[in-house]
Amino acid sequence: MDPKALTIWRSALLLITAAECTIQTSAGYWQAQFRPTPIAPPYGWVAHNLVVTILLATMTVIALWRFLGPRASLAAGFVALAGLKIGGETFERVFMVHHQDFYQGGALLIGALIGESYARMLGVRAEGGRLQALEARRFGMTGALAMLAASYMAAGSSKVLTGGISWATSAALRLMILSHSDVEGGLLATAIPNWAAASPHLCLALEMGTLVVQLGAFMLIVGPRARRLWASLIVAFHLGIYLTSHILFVTPMLFAAVVAFPWARVLPGGDDNLDDLHDPLHDPGEVPQRRARPAARGRDLVILAGAVVLAMRIAHGW
């Protein structure tokens, strides 16, 4: 994982989660002013109090910066996660629905926290030198990618387990497209959805493609080439959903686009392999320490990915 790309990924996650926090807290407070009935505490304290709303959003954004920025503070990461949770729950109680456009930043943050916590358990610490800092953040972003992959795999497996063979008949997708179609409008509003819904063979191909993309999302943590390929497929998957159903999942699509982009080929000095010990960011004094523990790297990342999937399952519905 290239150091420059790693920094860009973390910056993208910082912007995504900060935007999610700001949008949810401000929209929740604004909409709560028009509710005839008050919201029960503790979320009512946020929804009906501008000062508390501003303090919550400010605290969360600062904590996000301290975790995903240069400091990489684990404590700040957990504070940010709590702030996102409170803001999201307040938003849900005000609007009585989760916001589908921004919803996955918290899940990615959980994965990053699990990854960096696990790195510290292995003795890899952000304050242990530049190479160790990069390695710890590599674990963190692997955790975020594992959480992203787990969300798609959960969606794909639920289709297979719940829908069964009916998911392969194209009827389910055609019904979803028609239920989200506009009555009138331009090319994007009506022509493309109606054309897709009128073609059973196209919808069947889209359903099969959906299952392939979702169930194969584990490729995000396999390697650089597989990661870029599958991230690109995820972006195409979400664009297809938007064109046919006008449903846009902003957070995962943006993060997948950042992951799919070949930063190592565009940025000078980039390299997809963090094992390149000639990178100018690496401290030569740390090379022996790096070489002393390469065999455990793959095993540790597999354990980390399994822990992320398990945590996501345990926290389901929380």
Q: Where are the domains of the chain?
A: 3-314
pLDDT value at position 62? 97
Average pLDDT, the chain: 80
Asked whether the whole model's pTM tops 0.75, one would answer yes
Tokens of 92: 């849900």
Question: How sure is the predictor about 242, in pLDDT bands with cuts at 50, 70 and 90?
Answer: confident
Identify the helix (H) or strand (E) that includes residue 141: helix 130-158
Count of C-beta atoms within a 10 Å radius of residue 281: 15
| Pick from 42-46, 200-204, 225-229: least confident | 200-204
Sort 86 into a burial class: Cβ within 10 Å, 0-12 / 13-18 / 19+: buried
Q: Taking 90 as the threshold, does the pLDDT of residue 219 lie above it?
A: yes
Give the ranges where 33-129 is alpha helix by DSSP (H).
43-47, 50-68, 74-95, 105-121
Tokens of 70: 């240069």
Q: Measured between alpha carbons, how far is residue 43 from residues 38, 56, 85, 284 in Å?
A: 10, 11, 11, 51
Q: Measured between alpha carbons, how far is 300 from 180 in angstroms, rounded to an integer?
A: 43
Count of C-beta atoms within a 10 Å radius of residue 262: 14
Q: Measured between alpha carbons, how far is 235 from 251 in angstroms, rounded to an integer?
A: 11
pLDDT value at position 54? 96
Residue-wise pLDDT tens digits, 260-315: 998 877 776 555 444 443 333 344 444 444 443 433 456 666 666 666 666 655 55
pLDDT value at position 3? 81
